């Protein structure tokens, strides 16, 4: 039972709602155009959860073997604490990657069949790239999470690929205005990562983990946080205005209220360690936005 709890903790279930937010938004736009297919939606959700768990396992392993998590704030990491050995975590990573890739193949076949070779190959390659990106965040000498590139990858994978990719699975057409909600999800996801990096800025600096927050400093990381949150809200409103039909479409602004409080909290904060609770606030607000957006689109 303790081992099971350790693996559940390593999977970091609280990160899953944020990871599926883009799939919900992209699928909702397809549903609004009468192109929604439940089997594609649920397979995309499962694949995304797989990629997120894989990323969490890899993050736990990569930071754990490098000693970065030995004195970190927030949730305890399993490899660093010794609850899961590095060897077993490596096996867990391999198994999760194989299962996730299998789900991705089924998803591709369901969406495109055998005849659409180009789209099938494209999404298979995107699946492979997603696995590599999940692994290379903290694993290896040139892990991009240690080079301040995490924000870019989060925007690309949690935002653009998640929303545009899931929408394309249904529609097989790229509508450029979908970039607006895709950017909203991507920027909100970046803000969660930025909060995480601001919280860990002291520990990351000591361990030579050069996140963007470490590179630009705590005060500039705060300003960066304000900008990406505000831009995300602006992009969300812009998409709804462009596709306006009813005032009820704006009901998702309810989800933005906690984000405004978050901006105030970040502005007043002088101790980065106290920002841990803000990660959940922004992540859940993003998830609620995706749900309200999908219900009233």
pLDDT at 138: 84
Tell me the domain boundaries of the chain: 13-296
- pLDDT of residue 1 exceeding 90, the answer is no
| Mean pLDDT on 39-68 | 92
| Mean pLDDT on 81-105 | 94
- pLDDT of residue 196 exceeding 90, the answer is yes
pLDDT at 54: 95
CB 96 within 8 A of CB 54: yes
Rg of the chain on CA atoms, in Å? 19
Cα distances (angstroms) measured from residue 43 to each of 19, 100, 103, 220: 14, 10, 7, 40
Q: Where are the alpha helices (DSSP H) in the chain?
A: 2-11, 16-32, 38-66, 78-81, 86-112, 117-136, 150-154, 166-171, 179-199, 201-206, 212-216, 218-242, 257-268, 276-296
What end-to-end distance do the CA atoms of the chain give, in Å? 43
Mean pLDDT of the chain: 93
| CA-based nearest residue to 119, from 49, 170, 46 | 170
pLDDT at 91: 95
Cα distances (angstroms) measured from residue 111 to each of 23, 26, 27, 33, 160: 14, 14, 13, 16, 19
Q: The tokens 């304000």 sit on which residue?
A: 226
Task: Give the number of other CB atoms < 10 A from CB of residue 246.
Answer: 10
CA-to-CA distance for 84 and 7, rounded, in angstroms?
A: 8
Residue of higher predicted confidence among 97 and 76: 97
**pLDDT, tens digit, 9 for 90 and up, residues 4-45:** 888 999 999 999 999 999 999 999 999 988 999 999 999 999
Task: Give the number of other CB atoms < 10 A from CB of residue 177.
Answer: 12
| Mean pLDDT on 204-208 | 87
- pLDDT of residue 47 exceeding 70, the answer is yes
| Mean pLDDT on 160-172 | 96
CB 117 within 8 A of CB 40: no
Q: Which fold has domain 13-296?
A: Farnesyl Diphosphate Synthase (1.10.600)
**pLDDT, tens digit, 9 for 90 and up, residues 133-146:** 999 988 877 888 88
| CA-based nearest residue to 51, from 104, 106, 5, 109 | 104
CB 239 within 8 A of CB 181: yes
């Amino acid at each position: 039972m303790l081992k099971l709890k350790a693996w559940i903790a390593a999977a970091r279930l609280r990160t899953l709602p944020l990871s599926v937010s883009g799939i919900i938004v992209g699928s909702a736009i397809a549903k609004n155009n009468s192109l929604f297919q439940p089997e594609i939606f649920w397979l995309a959700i499962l694949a995304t959860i797989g990629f997120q768990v894989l990323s969490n396992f890899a993050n736990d392993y990569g930071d754990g073997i490098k000693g970065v998590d030995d004195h970190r704030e927030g949730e305890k990491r399993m490899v660093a604490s010794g609850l899961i050995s590095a060897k077993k975590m490596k096996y867990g990573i391999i198994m999760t990657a194989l299962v996730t890739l299998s789900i991705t193949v089924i998803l591709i076949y369901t969406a495109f069949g055998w005849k659409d070779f180009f789209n099938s190959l494209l999404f298979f390659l995107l699946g492979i790239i997603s696995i590599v990106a999940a692994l290379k965040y903290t694993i290896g000498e040139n892990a991009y999470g240690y080079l301040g590139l995490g924000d870019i990858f989060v925007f690309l994978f949690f935002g653009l690929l998640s929303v545009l990719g899931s929408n394309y699975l249904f529609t097989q057409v790229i509508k450029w205005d979908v970039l607006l909600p895709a950017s909203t999800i991507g920027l909100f996801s970046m803000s969660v990562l930025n909060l995480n990096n601001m919280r860990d800025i002291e520990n990351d600096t000591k361990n030579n983990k050069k996140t963007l927050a470490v590179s630009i400093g705590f005060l500039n990381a705060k300003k960066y946080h304000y900008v990406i949150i505000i831009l995300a809200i602006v992009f969300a409103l812009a998409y709804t205005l462009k596709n306006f039909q009813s005032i009820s479409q704006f009901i998702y602004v309810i989800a933005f209220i906690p984000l405004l409080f978050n901006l105030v909290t970040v502005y007043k904060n002088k101790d980065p360690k106290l920002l841990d609770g803000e990660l959940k606030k922004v992540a859940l607000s993003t998830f609620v936005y995706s749900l309200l957006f999908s219900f009233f689109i």
